[in-house]
Amino acid sequence: MSGTWLPPEQYIATLPKATVYGCFFVTDQDDRPIQLRAAHNPAVWQWPGGNLDDPDETPWGCAVRECMEETGLRIADTPRLLAVHFLPPLGDWTTHKIGFVFDGGQLDHDQIDRIVLDPDEHTEVAVRPLEEWRTEMGAFSFRRLAAVAEARRSGSVCYLEQSPTS
């Protein structure tokens, strides 16, 4: 920009656009990650969550809503951030994407058995040790999974960027 002041609505029109998502990282009681197989692409494993649908929705509110829609469970009552994830526009997705990964805690066997999937979104629930997920996921997706698991283990928060070549 040239330093010329613009009214907010004009300035905002010049900025890159982004979508925002909220999701939960969840494990069983043995710290094995729980993931959902995407219905639209069986090679993709996801955490319960999705994109903000409403201008008044927050990443936390989105994660809670989407988890209920996708699993039938409310798994957490207090936000505990594990990761922020940034993705540039990739392929057909023409905006940046910013994700907030919250700690969904550990589910016991009864809770896992009560998961009811939305068949339009997911076809399978899987619980596996972290290293077994490596063969099921792309390299960046597995790095994200491992980084988030480490953030939870260490009590820290991680920041992840995905480049067009990751």
What string of pLDDT tens digits covers the 166 residues of the chain?
Answer: 467 888 999 998 888 889 999 999 999 999 999 999 999 999 999 999 999 999 999 999 999 999 999 999 999 999 999 999 999 988 888 899 999 999 999 999 999 999 999 999 999 999 999 999 999 999 989 999 999 999 999 999 999 998 766 5
Between CA 77 and CA 62 the distance in angstroms is 13
Residue in the structure block whose two tokens are 């009681």: 29
Question: Quick one: which of 27, 143, 120 has its CA closest to 66?
Answer: 120
In this structure, the strands spanning 18-28 and 49-51 are: antiparallel
Domains in the chain: boundaries: 15-161
Within 10 A of 53 (CB to CB), how many other CB atoms are there?
11
Within 10 A of 47 (CB to CB), how many other CB atoms are there?
26
User: Domain spanning 15-161: which superfamily?
Assistant: Nucleoside Triphosphate Pyrophosphohydrolase (3.90.79.10)
Q: Record the tokens describing residue 56, joined without a space.
A: 């008044």
Q: Record the tokens describing residue 51, joined without a space.
A: 């994109």
Helices (H) and strands (E) in the chain, counts: 5, 8
Q: Record the tokens describing residue 86, joined without a space.
A: 């940034």
DSSP structure string for 111-141: HHHT----TTTEEEEEE--HHHHGGGS-HHH
Give the pLDDT confidence score for residue 92 in this predicted structure. Answer: 86
For the entire predicted model, the pTM comes to 0.91
